[in-house]
Structures are given as C-alpha cells and as structure tokens.
Amino acid sequence: GGTKKIIMIAILTDRPNVGKEIARVLGAHKRENGYMTGNGYMVTWTFGNMLSLAMPKDSGNAWVEWDDFPLRPAPFMTVRNVRTDTGWNPDINAVLQLKVIARVFDACDTIIAATDASREGEMLFRHIYRFLGCKQPCHRLWISSLTDEAILNGMANLCPCNRFDKLFLAADSRNRADWLLGVNSSYAICKAVGFGNNSLGRVQTPVLAAISRRYRERENHISIDSWPVFASLCKDNRIIKMRHVEDFDNRRYALELYEDCKAIRDARITAVSRKTEEIMAPALYNLTELQKDANRYHGLTAIQVQEITQSLYERKLISYPRTTNRSLPEDVQATLPPVMEKILAGKEFRRYADRVDFTTSRTASDTGDTMEHHAIIATGMRPDGLNREEMLVYTLVVGRMLETFMPPCKVEYMIVDAVCAARKFSVRMYSILEKGWLDVFGREGLIAKGCDSSPVFPEFAQGELVPVAGCSVIHKKSLPVSPYTDAELIEYMDDAGLGTVSTRTNIIRTLLERKYIRYAGKYIIPTSKGLFFYETVRGMRVADASLTSGWEAELARIEQGKLTQEEFLDKVLELVREVTDEIRQIHRSKKEPV
C-alpha cells in the first residue's frame, strides 16, 4: 500500500524556556529555528502576547472627531506594536515568530495549547489560532507545576479545548472592555487638552490617581501636636510603664498631670484581665500575599517578586505562582508529606522536623474546579544555584508551608488599668506561652495586637496599691502619610478590585515606563509628568477606582456562563459614553470665554 503519513502534534507555549522544558520531557530534542522537534512533536512558543486589538489608526482613522465617539475595535487583530525611532511599528520579533508558528501548525494534524493555564494564556492561544486561520482539532494542557511528572501527567490527561470556552470569553471580554475604556478616554483627553499620547488605561489611571493623591496629601500635611503622659509603676522589682488613656492636645494640661503624678506615692490597680488565645498559622501564599510579605520583610518590589516566582516556577521549584487561591485541593494535600520530608532534610529547615504534623493541616479545601490554581507551594526539588533574592522568596514559600503544618501559637494577653492622681492609666501586654508556627520566622508583630512584649507577667491584684517609680510626658507630632510602598499599593489594588494577580505588576511597570511614577527609596511617588496628568483627570470618573471595580465579578459570571459577552460589553459602552461625555464637557468649559 501507500506510505503511511506520519502524524505530527504541534504544541504552543507562551515562553521559549517553558517550550524547551516541555520539549525535553517529551523527547523533542532537535533544535530548529523558533521550535523544537522530535518523537512526533513540534514544540513552539510565543514571546508573551504578540497580538492586540487594532487601534483606530490601523483602520485608517488617524484623525478622530467628537462625533466618532465611542470608538470601537475593528473586527481584526494586529501584530503587537512597539515604539521605534520611526514611531509605533509592528514588533519584528513577533512577526517572525508568528511565521514560525504558522509553519509548525501547517505541518501538524493536531494542536495542543500549552500556554499559561490562566485566563490570559487561554486568550493568547485562541487569538493566535484564529489569527492564523487554523482548522486542526486542538487539546488543552492544563498543569499547575512544570516538574517532569506534572507535564507527563498533564499530557496523559489532556482536556478538550471547548471546556475552556467560557474562560476565553471572560478573557476576551476583559480585553475588549479595556480597549473600549482605555482608547476612548485616551483619544478624548488628547482632543480635550491637546497634548498627545496620554494613555488612560482603565486600571492605570485610578492607580496613578491613588499614588498622586497620597503624595499630595503628604505635601499638604499640617502636623498635630499631642502630649501623652506616662506613669511607671514598680512591681516585683520590675518597672511597668502605663499610659494615660487619653493623650492631651494641650501642653499645659499634660504638665499639670505630670506634676500631680510626681507628687503621688502609689497608684491603685482598678482592673486586671488576662486571656489566653490560640492563634492559627496564616493560610498558604497566593501571589498577592507573597508580594506583600516579600516587600515588607525583604524590600523586594512587586515586579521583582513576579519575575522571581516565574523563574522559580520554570525551574520546577514551586507550583504555578499567579494564583488568587490560598488553599489546596485534597488530592494535592495528599502529595505533600514526601515533599515536606525532602524539604525538612535541607539544613535550613531541619530543626522543625519533629514539630511538623501533616494530619493537622487546615488548608485543604475541595475546590473541585480545575480552572482555579491552588496556593503556591514548593515541589521538593533541591533549590540549587539560586541568587540571594530568589532564595528569599523561595524561603518565604517553604516557611509558610511549614507554618501551616505546625501547632498553633499560644499567647496570653493581659490588660491592667490603674488610677494615678485621680486619672486613668492603662497598659496592655502579651506573653508567648508556646511559639508553635511563630517559631519559623519569629515575627511577633503578627500576634502583638498593639501590646508590649512581656515574657513574664507581673502579678497584679484588683484594688492593690503599687508604688509610682517615675513619670514622663512626651511631645508628639503627627506624621504625614507615607507614599505607597509596593506592599501597600498591591493591597490597595487588590481591595479596590483593580487588575488581577497576573496584570497588577504590568500596570505598575507601564506607569514606570511611561515615566508617570518613579521609585524614591522603597516608596513609589509620581513624577511631575504624572502629577500634571493627575491634575488633568482629577475628580473625573476615569480616575475613580470604583468605576470598573465591579468588572471582575461580572467577568467571573461570564466564566460561569451566567452572563453573556454582549450583555457585559453593552454596559461597558454605556460607561464609555458617560466618560467621554464628561471629558468633552471639561473641554467645552475650558473653551468658553469667562
């Protein structure tokens, strides 16, 4: 008979090194230009998102009149544009790689989508599949870690692509909505104010507004004076410093109380309350919490943490990092004991081995939904050759896993109230009875609750008289609010529903690249360009964080099939009309003679 056609399978990933990893595991060892081949596979990759919705100029509308609003994206996609010496041009690397992908797809009978297992990754694959006009059947590789085992397991259990249709719809809807609001408001502000290339992103603008507002508030700060008064009591040869329950805003009154206290020999204890609490370990990390802690404790920026977690993921050391989830499904939980044993064998963590108990963990949750990635965990591979920053982030992840499997921290809190010179004083103390999970990083701030540390409590009885050993008065000035740190900005964006775990760092990066914001030490502050832009949009709806804060919930409903793309985008268009009308009103009021 005739020669049998060799069946070839194409695999598309969204990063070259992930592609090469998958190729190695599947035995596609032959290196070609822009792809790997062998063992019946051709594995290729994109360089992130290489396609975007067309801009008005791509459809030939370089000039826009007020009547043209609201602008809508053309039905076609274009290759990502980058800024070059001759203006904005298609990214040459993207153009060349798209040709490679087209050749690979043409040579194959089926396609496996192995892009990022997320909303963005799904959209990236679908857009390329459509852009190249593919007709081949496709399957989805959906994995949470890049270990050989996870890749082989995923390849053995490929999902049908249509299972992710709604995930794609949600991603595509967000993409279109961002275009509608961003492009319309940007073009409208250029027309209204007359300065070019101001990009108003749906998330960028409120984030810049928040950073600028905080900065202005700091500049305009008027400090308030206060005078707290302290009385030191002597008990069991220890000095206990108590504070007057109200700080005075008048120096004279503070000094009067100070003089009264000096003249008094004893204070009377009026109330003593003690209570013991068991404090459970915090939940496992998602990306947001990891970014916050790495910034708080190690001064790493949100962008650094996202890049480091991606690199740790690609080196198979941790599970998929861009997750919002802080729990584990039961099947993953069951795989942890051997992983933790490997980690506990390492010298950094050996001392906790006898205190870790895998039966106690409270992190299990049966999510049952494969779309949502579980919390970030280590895979148990040896962390060799990491630099200092990578090791810091890796240690946070491993330390948090240990904490989760350790006994609770037992703390006793005590509040003592006293009367001195006929005025009320009080002190709050805490004492750690059993460290439990707190022993890993020793961060007592997590359990202090604004109390003073006291390893042993003095024994006070209600009604007893205690000698006053001294007193003091302090002059305090209220401090201006600090500019945002990365931890605070990420928290603000998270609380305000701005962006997702995957997109937040790109928003900060875009604002930095456009020179709207900059770093001053560990703080993020606006540049003069950023402040000028903020003054232009201040008070406008486009700068209001709540404008689109409901979108994430709507997109989740699209993902669940409870809302259609049309319904969502119709609402967005309404909003866009209101926003561009408002910008136009400002434009008119500027033109009218006073």
Q: What would the mean pLDDT of 349-354 be, rounded to a whole number? A: 80
Which pLDDT does position 504 carry in this prediction?
Answer: 93
Q: For the chain, what is the mean pLDDT?
A: 91
Assess whether pLDDT exceeds 60 at residue 3. no
Better pLDDT: 391 or 75: 391
Per-residue confidence (pLDDT) for residue 364, from 0 to 100: 57
Q: What is the pLDDT of residue 85?
A: 85
Write the DSSP symbol of residue 241: E
What pLDDT sits at residue 195? 61
Give the per-residue SS3 of 264-309.
Answer: CCEEEEEEEEEEEEEECCCCCCCHHHHHHHHHHHHCCCHHHHHHHH
- 75 vs 35, higher pLDDT: 35
* Stretch among 168-177, 265-274, 326-335 having the lowest mean pLDDT: 326-335
Average pLDDT in the 343-364 region? Answer: 75
Question: Which SS3 state, helix, strand or coil, does residue 127 take?
Answer: helix
| Separation of alpha carbons 489 and 215, rounded Å | 13
- The pLDDT > 90 percentage for the chain reads 74
Lowest mean pLDDT segment, chosen from 200-204, 321-325, 350-354: 350-354
Structure token pair of residue 387: 């630099």
Residue by residue, DSSP assigns 208-239 as HHHHHHHHHHHHT----EEB-EEEEEEETTEE
Cis peptide before 480 (omega within 30 of 0): no
What is the widest separation between alpha-carbon atoms in the chain?
114
Q: Using a CB cutoff of 8 Å and minimum separation of 24, what contacts does 52-61 make?
A: 52/77, 52/78, 52/79, 52/80, 52/81, 53/77, 53/78, 53/175, 53/176, 53/179, 54/78, 55/81, 55/183, 56/183, 56/187
The per-residue pLDDT for range 456-485, each reduced to its tens digit, is 899 999 999 999 999 999 999 999 999 999
pLDDT at 5 over 70: no
Listing DSSP states for 521-578 in one string gives TTEEEE-HHHHHHHHHHTTSGGG-GGGSTTHHHHHHHHHTTSS-HHHHHHHHHHHHHH
**Per-residue pLDDT tens over the stretch 135-177:** 999 999 999 999 999 999 999 999 999 999 999 999 999 999 9
Q: Does the pLDDT at position 594 exceed 50?
A: no
Among the ranges given (60-69, 74-83, 90-99, 572-581), the one the predictor scored with the smallest mean pLDDT: 60-69
pLDDT band at 524 (very low <50, low <70, confident <90, very high): very high
Whether residue 60 has pLDDT greater than 90: no
pLDDT of residue 360: 63
Q: What's the average model confidence in pLDDT over 296-306?
A: 97
Question: Cα–Cα distance between 383 and 528 in angstroms, integer?
Answer: 43
Tell me the pLDDT band of 238, cut-offs 50, 70 and 90: very high
Q: How many CB atoms lie within 10 A of CB 83?
A: 10
Q: What is the pLDDT of residues 210-234, one digit of tens each?
A: 999 999 999 999 999 999 999 999 9
CA–CA distance, 534 with 531 (Å, rounded to integer): 5
End-to-end CA distance of the chain: 91
In the predicted model, what is the mean pLDDT of residues 428-440? 95
pLDDT over 90 (residue 181)? yes
According to the model, what pLDDT value does residue 369 have?
52
Instruction: Using the predicted structure, report yes or no on whether residue 416 has a pLDDT greater than 90.
Output: yes
Cα 495 to Cα 288, 517, 545: the distances in Å are 11, 21, 10
Distance, in Å, from the CA atom of 371 to the CA atom of 428, rounded to the nearest integer, reads 46
Confidence check: pLDDT of 190 > 90: no
Average pLDDT over every residue of 398-422: 94
